[in-house]
Amino acid sequence: MSQPLGVKIFDRIASSYEFTAKFLSFGIMPYWQAKLIKPIKGGKKVLDLACGTGILFPKLAKKFKTVVGLDYSLPMLKEAKKKRLKTYLVRGDALQLPFRNESFDTVVVSLGLRHFDSIDNALSEIKRVLKPGGELHILEVGIPQNPLLEKLFLTFLKKVILPLGRLRAKEDVYNHLFGSVISFPHREKLVSKLLHLGFSEANYEPVMGGIVYIYRARR
């Protein structure tokens, strides 16, 4: 498999991903994740898509009988394996999921969607593998709607996150980190994509003024 750009960066930082992510979010990432997972009602089988190092596995394992984690990055999956949790790990591409139609009750994508080469393809694949009535829960970095907060946040991304990214990654990769936030279909745009693809319900909620958003949809 040739490595997409949105995977290269994680191959490089896999062993320090959890520390880096917590550090760059000033330690508030666990709060976002708790908000994402808490309202999920649970069931038989969940897919943690772009699971990375499996940061969500312990929380998902409390709600689901079977937890499947899929990621494209082998180094990230190796970190996940070290957690020795009763989870199925699959190396694969979100744009071509190696699962049968209607095999999951729930799909969760935490901070993964904006890294995919085609968000539309990934969402179609998610819909295909979800059972009818199944739920999709997405956490993604956003852009605050308040103009002052938006300016502050974009300055923070440019002046803090990008220079830090430069230390560990090459030009194309750190450009991706910023570009993927700017070009992401935020808020109503993602909701209408989901409805257009045939999800029966979709909504979003801003977290911390819109630094991140949680999107929830039903097939």
Residues that bind ligand SAM (CB under 6 A): 4, 6-7, 10, 21, 50-52, 55, 71-73, 76, 93-95, 110-112, 115-116
* Shortest distance, position 122 Cβ to ligand SAM, whole Å: 7
Exposure of 199 by Cβ count < 10 A (0-12 exposed, 13-18 middle, 19+ buried)? buried
The 3 state secondary structure assigned to the chain is CCCCHHHHHHHHHHHHHHHHHHHHCCCCHHHHHHHHHCCCCCEEEEEEECCCCCCCHHHHHCCEEEEEEEECCHHHHHHHHHCCCCCEEEECECCECCCCCCCEEEEEEECCHHHCCCHHHHHHHHHHHEEEEEEEEEEEECCCCCHHHHHHHHHHHHHHHHHHHHHHCCHHHHHHHHHHHHHCCCCHHHHHHHHHCCCCEEEEEEEHHHCEEEEEEEC
Q: Return the number of the residue (26 or 133) whose C-beta is nearest ligand SAM.
A: 26
Q: Return the number of the residue (106 or 110) whose C-beta is nearest ligand SAM.
A: 110
Please identify the residue of the shown chain whose CB is closest to the bound ligand SAM.
52
* Shortest distance, position 89 Cβ to ligand SAM, whole Å: 12
* Shortest distance, position 148 Cβ to ligand SAM, whole Å: 27
Q: Return the number of the residue (13 or 188) whose C-beta is nearest ligand SAM.
A: 13
* Shortest distance, position 212 Cβ to ligand SAM, whole Å: 11
Q: Return the number of the residue (52 or 142) whose C-beta is nearest ligand SAM.
A: 52
Q: Return the number of the residue (100 or 148) whose C-beta is nearest ligand SAM.
A: 100
* Shortest distance, position 117 Cβ to ligand SAM, whole Å: 6
